[in-house]
Chain A
Amino acid sequence: MIISVASGKGGTGKTTIAVNLALSLGDVQFLDCDVEEPNAHIFLKPRLTDERRIFVPVPEIDESKCTYCGKCREVCAFNAIAVLGGTGPGGGSVLVFPHLCHGCGACSIFCPEKAIKEIGREIGMVESGIRDGMGFVHGRLNVGEAMSPPLIRKVKERADSARTVIIDAPPGISCPVITAVEGSDFCLLVTEPTPFGLNDLVLAAGMLRELKIPFAVAVNRDGIGDGKVDDYCAGEKIPILMRIPFSKEIAGAYSRGEPAVSLFPELAGQFRDLFSRIRTVSGSS
């Protein structure tokens, strides 16, 4: 079973819940798909045993073959290629803007002179390892790289279908989070009881409905703010599966990179209950 933990708004406690759920269950595989800001390793402290550099294809032009016909520019939907005039070899120039390239392959397929070959451009790293019995994989996007989805797909390719997989998704409601949660059996949306938390929960719930992924809510920092998240969930019949009260002790442990269950072992039972509830509401018990 694949459970992803997501939230529209960042900083609601997504990583806290994913990490503590994983530690409480023990025998799971943890995939940190927040490749822009991977944080789970700070808490899980896995022993990393493997590291792979991840590449995406970008075109490379062989100007000795190129006739500057402009076909590659015409087929590129992302303005990632510019062709500057000229006729015979060396008469003009072709510029590739790697950060705009989606690696779709259209330019190399359509170049009439077979002057384009694809080379790999590194966008980041996938690292994996173990912590006690738990499998751990995360991605790290290189600084300055714009597109995280190809790297997120590489992290997800490592999912072990024989185990319970917990995915820590990036925040938001657009491409990175969609790439991360796609294919999950269930998604737990973490929110906090503030107007920001509610606003972003509504957006994230809309996204999961579109993706047809069953979901429920966990309320973190319960007790701050107001009761409008509860009202919304009641009105929409979205189950609230867990509430974690605001506590300076938990916040303090978080700030030092210590998982809450290491400090308060009694919490592990609550996270195991959360898992049973997830199995019940997702119908996979």
Chain B
Amino acid sequence: MKKIAVVSGKGGTGKTVVAASFAALPGSKVMVDCDVDAADLHLLLHPEVKERHEFRGGSTAVIDRGLCRQCGKCSAVCRFKAVKSGPRVERFFCEGCGLCARLCPYGAISMGETVSGEWFVSDTRRGPFVHARLGVAQGNSGRLVAQIRRAAERIAAEEKLEYVVIDGPPGIGCPVIASLSGVDCALVVTEPTLSGLHDARRVMETAAHFAIPVKLAVNKYDLNPEMSGEIEDFCRENGIQFAGRISFDPAVVEALSAGQTIIDSGNRTVGDEIRKIWELLIR
């Protein structure tokens, strides 16, 4: 089983379009959408949901107004400013540390487990797909990522699939680290812009920090061929394998709007460019 994560640093570089195309290319695989904040891969893979699971990401303090004597201890000890006047716990800010509950002199605070999302195991015509929906304004996305990756890896082991393909989130923080941890290879998809290069460097440094091999591809490279060249030079100078260029083509957005992967839309140029990248990844 080979685990491949597709990440980008910067959002909107075309990471999901590339990952979805991998689904349609040869090799048995399970797909995982680890961008649980803004999950989009399902829009191209059209899953039929087989299993639904609740995600319990943590707990939140709950104050029993009947027992509370307004001593103010809870708001004094909470380091996350989660206890507002009342006292009332603002759930967006409560990290669930439980300190207030342990220190309330009147036993007025209990910790309630929160259901903060759902995750799914689905069938698609390209094979199994594990994805999730984080509840509105919930934290703990890193833990949800870890949970759906475990599920996907279990499926890959049981069904003897060759690849686990992870569509990762943007950024370099907790859900990205959870998406990258223990993968065999990370593909960074970037765009030929200064921001794209800046952000790709940060996510590549993050991968290097966790000793994960990285390859890089430039999407929409012809929007700024010079900048694409700079990014290729950067890869060469830093010992990062350059995985390929993908052309800008308005038909990509059309395929996306029609809910199709590039491969299924029959776009030969872009399709072949992505195919070459996939072949290099699995070599």
Q: Give A residues with C-beta under 8 Å from B.
A: 8-12, 15, 36-37, 39, 42, 75, 77-78, 102-106, 109-110, 141, 143-148, 170-176, 178, 182, 192, 194-196, 199-200, 203, 206-207, 209-211, 224-226, 248, 251-252, 254-257
Shortest CB distance B240–A (Å): 15
Query: A103, B11: Cβ atoms under 8 Å?
Result: no
Shortest CB distance A12–B (Å): 6
**Known A-B contacts A143-B172, A195-B256, A199-B43; A104 and B199 likewise in contact (beta carbons under 8 Å):** no
Shortest CB distance B83–A (Å): 13
Asked whether B134 is an interface residue with its Cβ less than 8 Å from the other chain, the reply is: yes
Shortest CB distance B20–A (Å): 11
27 contacts between A and B (CB under 8 A): A11-B13, A11-B170, A11-B191, A37-B170, A37-B199, A39-B198, A42-B195, A77-B97, A102-B95, A102-B97, A104-B80, A105-B79, A141-B172, A145-B173, A146-B174, A172-B38, A172-B170, A178-B139, A194-B257, A195-B257, A196-B256, A206-B137, A211-B92, A224-B253, A248-B223, A255-B224, A255-B227
Query: A173, B137: Cβ atoms under 8 Å?
Result: yes
**Known A-B contacts A42-B198, A77-B59; A178 and B137 likewise in contact (beta carbons under 8 Å):** yes
Asked whether B171 is an interface residue with its Cβ less than 8 Å from the other chain, the reply is: yes
A80 to B178, CA, bound (A): 16
**Known A-B contacts A106-B99, A224-B253; A176 and B173 likewise in contact (beta carbons under 8 Å):** yes
Partner of B97, one of A15, A104, A207, A224: A104
Chain B neighbourhood of A37, CB < 8 A: 9-10, 170-172, 195, 198-199, 202
Partner of B10, one of A11, A102, A175: A11
**Known A-B contacts A147-B174, A174-B37; A77 and B210 likewise in contact (beta carbons under 8 Å):** no
A255 to B193, CA, bound (A): 4
Identify the 5 closest CB pairs spanning chains A and B, nearest first: A10-B11, A11-B12, A172-B37, A104-B97, A36-B171
Shortest CB distance A263–B (Å): 14
Query: A10, B43: Cβ atoms under 8 Å?
Result: no
1/0 contact string of B85-118 vs chain A (CB within 8 Å): 0000000110111110011000000000000000
A15 to B139, CA, bound (A): 23
A133 to B81, CA, bound (A): 33
Chain A neighbourhood of B257, CB < 8 A: 194-195, 225-226
Chain A neighbourhood of B141, CB < 8 A: 172, 174-175
Query: B40, A196: Cβ atoms under 8 Å?
Result: yes
A197 to B209, CA, bound (A): 32
Asked whether B136 is an interface residue with its Cβ less than 8 Å from the other chain, the reply is: yes
1/0 contact string of B134-157 vs chain A (CB within 8 Å): 101111111000000000000000
Query: B37, A173: Cβ atoms under 8 Å?
Result: yes
Other CB < 8 Å A-B pairs besides A11-B13, A172-B171, 11 of them?
A: A10-B38, A11-B10, A11-B12, A36-B170, A36-B173, A36-B202, A75-B102, A144-B210, A195-B257, A254-B193, A255-B227
Chain B neighbourhood of A15, CB < 8 A: 195
Chain B residue at minimal CB-CB distance from A106:
B99
Chain B: interface residue count, which band? 35 or more
Partner of A178, one of B38, B92, B97, B198: B92
Partner of A12, one of B12, B95, B175, B250: B12
Partner of A9, one of B40, B198, B250, B256: B40
Query: B98, A75: Cβ atoms under 8 Å?
Result: yes
Asked whether B192 is an interface residue with its Cβ less than 8 Å from the other chain, the reply is: yes
Chain B neighbourhood of A176, CB < 8 A: 171, 173
Query: A174, B138: Cβ atoms under 8 Å?
Result: yes
Chain A neighbourhood of B253, CB < 8 A: 194, 224-225
**Known A-B contacts A174-B134, A257-B194; A36 and B172 likewise in contact (beta carbons under 8 Å):** yes
Query: B223, A251: Cβ atoms under 8 Å?
Result: yes
**Known A-B contacts A10-B38, A11-B170; A224 and B250 likewise in contact (beta carbons under 8 Å):** yes
Partner of A11, one of B11, B37, B139, B140: B11
Partner of B136, one of A9, A203, A252, A257: A203
**Known A-B contacts A171-B170, A178-B92, A257-B195; A105 and B99 likewise in contact (beta carbons under 8 Å):** yes
Shortest CB distance B146–A (Å): 12
Chain A neighbourhood of B137, CB < 8 A: 173-174, 178, 206-207, 210-211
Query: B96, A77: Cβ atoms under 8 Å?
Result: yes
Asked whether B264 is an interface residue with its Cβ less than 8 Å from the other chain, the reply is: no
A144 to B181, CA, bound (A): 11
Chain B neighbourhood of A77, CB < 8 A: 58-59, 96-98
Shortest CB distance B61–A (Å): 11
A2 to B174, CA, bound (A): 27
